[in-house]
Structure formats: C-alpha cells, structure tokens
Structure 1
C-alpha cells in the first residue's frame, strides 16, 4: 500500500441545535472511561462507480457530511467538548460543555486498496487502522479534541466510513441510537422516533444530581495514565462469524448440560464457547484463575432510566473460575456461572456502585482490569448495524478501529444474516493458529459471509 492521502479536514457544527442545557453532567458510568480510548466503528461499502468518477466521490463526501450535520442538530452536546475544573485540593471535576465547538470531518484516499483487500485476508489488515480519525486519543483529551470525528476514506471500488466517539459521553447503545437516528434523518424525517434523553436525575428521586461535584485526585489520574502505556501490543484481529443455527445449538447444549429450561441465553452460551477455546489454546495452568469481563447494559435494570437514555449505562462485571473448572466441567457450567453474574446485576447493586464510586473514584482501562482476564467483551448483537437504508447499500463489512485493542478484546455485533453474530477478536497469532486446529471451536465458525 502506497499510503493514505488526507484530502481535507473540516469542522461540522449543529446547524439548528435542539434546545439543550449548556452543561451535561458526567456520571460515574461516564467518568470511569476517562483514560480509555475513543469508541471506533467503521463500515465498508462496495461502490464500483467511485473508481474513476470524481464527481461521485465528491457527492459521497457531501452526502455524509450533510447527514452528520443534520444528525448533530439532535445531539448538540456531541459537537461540544469536555470541561475540566481543577480544585485547590489537587482534584479535578469533569462535565460535558455543549459549546458547539464542532465535530471533525476528514476526507482521505487510498489509491491501491480495494474492498477485497480489506475483507478477504484471514486477519484484518493493519492499514485499516489509518481509516479511523483520532487514533491514540484518550477520552480525557476531549477537553481539547472533538468528541466526535468522522472520516470518509475512498478505496479503489468503494468507501470506508468511520466514526470515533468519546467513550465518556456515550456507550454502544447510545452509539447505535445516534446511528439509527442518523438513518431516520437521511431518509427524510424531520423528527426522531426515539428522541435522546439526557437528564441525569434517575438516581436522586428525579432531582438534579450534581455529578460534576465528583472530584478525582490528580495524582490518581496521572498514575493510571502512565500505566496505560503498558498495554499489551502485537495482537492480530480476526472476525469469527456464527450462524443462527449454531448459536441455537450452543444454547440448547448449555441448558441441557446443567439440567435447566432455557435460562442460559444464546449469547451467554456463545461467549463461554469463545472463552473456553481461548483459554484452552493459550494453554494456561489448570490451577490458575481465569476471568471473563462483561460490560452489562443497565437501562433495563434501574427504575426511571429510560431506554432512550443517552450516555454510558454500563456496569463492568466479571465471571471468574479456575481454568480446570472452565475446561473440565463443560460449556453449560461456564454459561450458568455467567448467567448468575449477569442476574446479580440488579438495581441495588448499580446504586451501590454509584455511591461507592463517588466516594472513591476508580478509572478504568479495559486492557488493565485484572491480571487474569482472558476476555473482555463489548458491543451487542441487538444493534442491527448492517440493517437500515443508508443510501449507499448494505455494508460489506463492519470493523472497529485501533482504540482499546489488546490481547483478549472481543467486540460483538449482529451479522449480515438474521440471527447471526460476528465477534471481532484480538489475540496473538500463536493463539489464533492453535484455535484453527481446535475442532470443537472451528466446527461452529461459519465461512465468511
């Protein structure tokens, strides 16, 4: 590859922002991600006419840019910045300043890469990282960097459209909420079927909760920031595709093994199937503990928290077992342990997390949660990212950017076929090579769709 050429960058603002408070508090769910990387997702579109037609390319760029501007009218805080207030006691408070400072928009070209060069290799090519803006930016840098950046990268026969969003202002559910809203606007709607809810009063009897009074010690921020540089590197990225039929069989097997009736979900069975293969092929000491880290959506678990709540509503939970228990006691046992951890994430536990976090803030690096974490999973197959009329046809691939990539990171999303699931996994090459010889796992993986 000769390299990516940056054609232009510009600032996109909300042209007609809806009425919105100039300040949005950041909750403990938001603040815990200050030292993580931006959320990064991208969609690859096969558009053959772009190969020789500069007018089509210009129309595409204008189309994406204008769609972004219209969408930001409904999410005006995304064009703002984070604000940091330093206090005399060597602590800092953060909040979201809706100042319409603007989102970043970039247009780039790669002359010798086709859509096939991106989707055909076993591992996601490393050059795809360059298709994402704000690479290497931490969420806390949102005080000076845009909270949202979009990049359109033209390849030989199509385009890769990526977005990077500050993880301290939204999670995956809110990301898909904004994406779905953008599709409504693109298709001619002047209002949204699910307007975003920004109020943060759900934990304080419907009165304003002054989360911006949370003070984080400066020494703690610097300590964790320095530790972030030690994140593992040298991993490859591969997407595993699981069909609806295979997932149903894993669910049936899990429930049958522990003698229960349909309590273990399809997703719990699938994730534990992945967990067991990774641990088995890393050849970890049987007496060592291994953990699976889940980011659980709290929107259905707290009364008064709207499904349209816009921000982070993620509770981090872990399932921990001895390696020999994970591998020797079957898929059903592992999935049942995961089921119990998910079920324990109730309203009381979530409220306790808020109160404890306000007293003793704890910033999170997904790559550094614990020394025995084998897998950290984010995303959800409920987000139908392949569906919806974008005006560009269906994507041929959905990929994530280099942010928050480390050994054991897994990102879920719906597959192209109804009921299927794609899991993008980051692991060392030697682990992937061992998994390729693991018939129990590979017999469940579908050929690329």
Structure 2
C-alpha cells in the first residue's frame, strides 16, 4: 500500500542576493534538454527532519537550485523553493526495490525542462520514499545547472551539512568558464574541418530521429561487472604488449570498444571512432574542482579500422588522451575553445559523426566513466548507501563504480548496443568474453 505523498517547498535559510542571476554558459544551455537523476538506496530510515534542515542550509550555497528562470539567460535567485516530497511504501522491501525491471522513476519527482524554462518549476526536485526496511532518496536536477561531478558533489555537501562536518564551498561563477569569441563563423568552421571534425546535416538528424522517438536511446542493459582483480589483469595483459604505461581507463575503454566492434560484426576495413567524456576541473587551471555547472568536453580518437587489434586500439586511445595528462594542456584548451565557439555560433560540427552513434551498426563508441566519483560516500549521518542506481542519461557506454565492499566497476550499454545485446542468446560466446574479468 502506497501512502499519499506530501510535498513541501524548501527554501534557503538565507537568500544571498535575491536579484542576482546565475548565467548559463554556452555548455549549460546545450545541456538544458537533459535531466540528471540520482537514486540512492539506504537500508535505514532517513530522518526527514534532519534531511530538510540540512537541505535548507545547502540551498544557501546553491541558490540557483531554489530560484526560477526569468529569461533564457539564466536563473534568478528568487528562493521560491525546491519541491521536497515524502512518501511511504510500507509493503515494499529493500530487496524488491532493487529488483531488475523495477520502475526507478517512481522514486523521484519529475521535472520538465519546458516548465523550468518558463519559470514555473525549480530546476531540482527531492523525494524520500520510506520502505518497510529502508529508504530511497531520489533527486532530479536540470543538466543545465550541473553536470555529474557537481551533482554528486552537491549531494556529498548536503550530507556533510547534515553531519555538521566541514566541506569545501562550491564555486558558482560561470565567468570562470569563459571562452573568447575571437573567430568568425567561417574561421571556426575552417578550424573544425582542419581538425577533421564532421558536419552533421539535418537529413542525418532525421535518419536517427526514430531512435529517440521510440525510446531506443534510453534502453539499457543490466550491469557487466569487472572486479578490481579483473581490471588489474586486463591492464597487465595489455601493458605487456604495448610500449607505454597503460591506465585502467584506457585499457577498459579499449576492451569495451573492441567488444562493441565484435558485437556488430564490422568488417575489418570499417572506419570507427572512440569518444571519451573528459572532466575539465583541475585540468584547466581556471576551473577548480568545486566549480558548479557543466565543465566537461568530448575527446575523439582519430579514425581507426574495425580490424585493429586490442593493443592498437589501446595505443590510439592513449595517444588521444595524452593532452589530458600534459601540464600545459594547450591542446585540450584548443579543443574546448573550438567546441564552445561552434556551439555559440550554432555550427553543426563535432569531432565525430554524432549520428553514427545511433545507426543500426554504430561506428562511434561513446564512453562516460564515473568510476572515480566517490558516490558511495553520500552519508547523511545515518549510514552510507547500499546501492546507487546509475543516472538515466543516454551514455552509450557507462562505467559506474561498484559498491566499495565489492570493488571494481559496473559497465552498462545503452541505445542500439543495448537492444542488440538483449536480442542475443545467453550462451553466445560474446557474453563469455565480456565476463572474463568479473
């Protein structure tokens, strides 16, 4: 039996500056259609009063989350409040809430970009569902206000406040992510083409429209588990055959790329690209670790053939990500600057052919790695979560931290790969190869 939910609008205890506006960056605006969902599962009852008291204090540091849009440029610090819903499902056990196929969205309150844009809704919602033997904390946030890093940092800070412990104050200064618009439209397009970037036509968008319309892009597999020992084994195996120190991320990315090539049975001469999402915090000196907003970039490899060996793919990814490890980071800065200027000018150019992620046999493999996020440290003073269900953004390949007691990572495939994997027989050799490092 589900009890009627009760919603209260929580406001910051103190409004820093009611007339101030949190201005969207170009990257924030590009992320506006997306919503980040966080679902944290606890085997204890969360104390609602403690959570609300801490949340009121939290909003002082994140005033844009309780504000409203007055125009398209950003969010005014109106402190109109965030909907905080409490409901009970006393017949639902924790183990049942975590079952495969469970409707995860039921544990959070919906927010819609269209209503946020019109200034009707807050860009954040919170919901606590009390179970028979635990609780689920569901949070949804506009991606225009936060990326994954700042989203989970915000939740961590909320926990620190509830425990009366210190945390590093977030930085809400979008001017830090400033890219000078010093090139004309023609110059940006020429620079992009000189780098081998692709122009995405309107016709190409129409071809992939059904993938979005029919929800294929939201389909996701169950987790493929890679143990800590398995990851070390994979890294050692590859490192013995290459002439450079191979990171775990590069080794796993190469392996997953190779497995996707096998999944779609590409011919050896098929041209492919691997794409990595890179966090810019502490990589670009002007973007601190506490920066709130969107601060990431995509880094694409040069074209390579589907017939490339695992070691060859590893080398290609390693060399592509080399700018992220250099102290000057000028190459990364150039990539980011060109991307932002192209977005600002609404030029349909990208470092890779975006539509090839959604073709029947994808040749672009997009990997987003969350394994470095300490999401299992989200403790509000009661106990750490027993499970954190991954967000539902359409990352083609998502690398997610497994529970610390287990170690290692979980890998999820979404979109076309997910649909392909679900159609395969469970005794297919592909599954055995995927599971060799668990």
Is TM-score (shorter-chain normalized) higher than 0.5?
yes
Deviation at 1:171, TM superposition (A): 0.8
Deviation at 1:158, TM superposition (A): 1.0
**Residue 381, structure 1, aligned to residue 367, structure 2:** no
Aligned partner (choices 42, 55, 80) of residue 45 of structure 1: 42
**Aligned match of 1:199:** 173
**Aligned match of 1:53:** none
The 3 A distance-change label for structure 1 pair 5 and 339 is farther
Aligned partner (choices 102, 105, 119) of residue 84 of structure 2: 105
Encode CA deviations 1:211-233: one digit per residue, 9 max, x unaligned. Answer: xxxxxxxxx9xx99x95535426
**Aligned match of 2:233:** 249
Cα separation, 2, equivalents of 1:435 and 1:162: 36
CA contact (8 A) 2:357 2:366 kept: no
Aligned partner (choices 39, 51, 57) of residue 64 of structure 1: 51
Deviation at 1:385, TM superposition (A): 1.1
Encode CA deviations 1:266-324: one digit per residue, 9 max, x unaligned. Answer: 11212332333344234445544444432211123323222221110011233465563
Cα separation, 1, equivalents of 2:18 and 2:425: 48
Deviation at 1:196, TM superposition (A): 1.3
Deviation at 1:76, TM superposition (A): 1.0
**Residue 440, structure 1, aligned to residue 433, structure 2:** yes
Deviation at 1:134, TM superposition (A): 1.4
**Aligned match of 1:8:** 6
**Aligned match of 1:311:** 293
Cα separation, 2, equivalents of 1:229 and 1:430: 20
The 3 A distance-change label for structure 1 pair 306 and 129 is same
**Residue 128, structure 1, aligned to residue 95, structure 2:** no
**Aligned match of 2:219:** 235
Deviation at 1:100, TM superposition (A): 1.3
- TM-score normalised to the size of structure 2? 0.78
Deviation at 1:149, TM superposition (A): 0.8
**Aligned match of 1:95:** 74
CA contact (8 A) 2:19 2:78 kept: no
The 3 A distance-change label for structure 1 pair 322 and 203 is closer
**Aligned match of 2:185:** none
CA contact (8 A) 2:160 2:380 kept: no
Encode CA deviations 1:133-162: one digit per residue, 9 max, x unaligned. Answer: 216x34784443321111111222111111
Deviation at 1:418, TM superposition (A): 8.1
**Aligned match of 1:27:** 25
- TM-score normalised to the size of structure 1? 0.76
Aligned partner (choices 116, 127, 135) of residue 159 of structure 1: 135
Structure 2: stretches of 5+ with no match in the other structure: 181-201, 324-330
**Aligned match of 2:186:** none
SS at match of 1:335: helix
Cα separation, 2, equivalents of 1:204 and 1:251: 37
Encode CA deviations 1:403-429: one digit per residue, 9 max, x unaligned. Answer: 4347x3425235324862233443232
Deviation at 1:130, TM superposition (A): 1.5
Deviation at 1:166, TM superposition (A): 0.7
The 3 A distance-change label for structure 1 pair 138 and 360 is same
Aligned partner (choices 399, 403, 410) of residue 415 of structure 1: 403
What does 1:236-315 align with in structure 2 at a 5 Å threshold?
236-260=220-244, 262=245, 264-315=246-297
The 3 A distance-change label for structure 1 pair 28 and 139 is farther
**Aligned match of 2:196:** none
What RMSD, in angstroms, separates the aligned Cα atoms of the two structures?
3.4
Worse overlay, 239-248 or 17-26: 17-26
Count of residue correspondences = 394
Encode CA deviations 1:362-394: one digit per residue, 9 max, x unaligned. Answer: 699x99674436643335222111125422212
**Residue 347, structure 1, aligned to residue 326, structure 2:** no
**Aligned match of 1:217:** none
Worse overlay, 60-69 or 434-443: 434-443
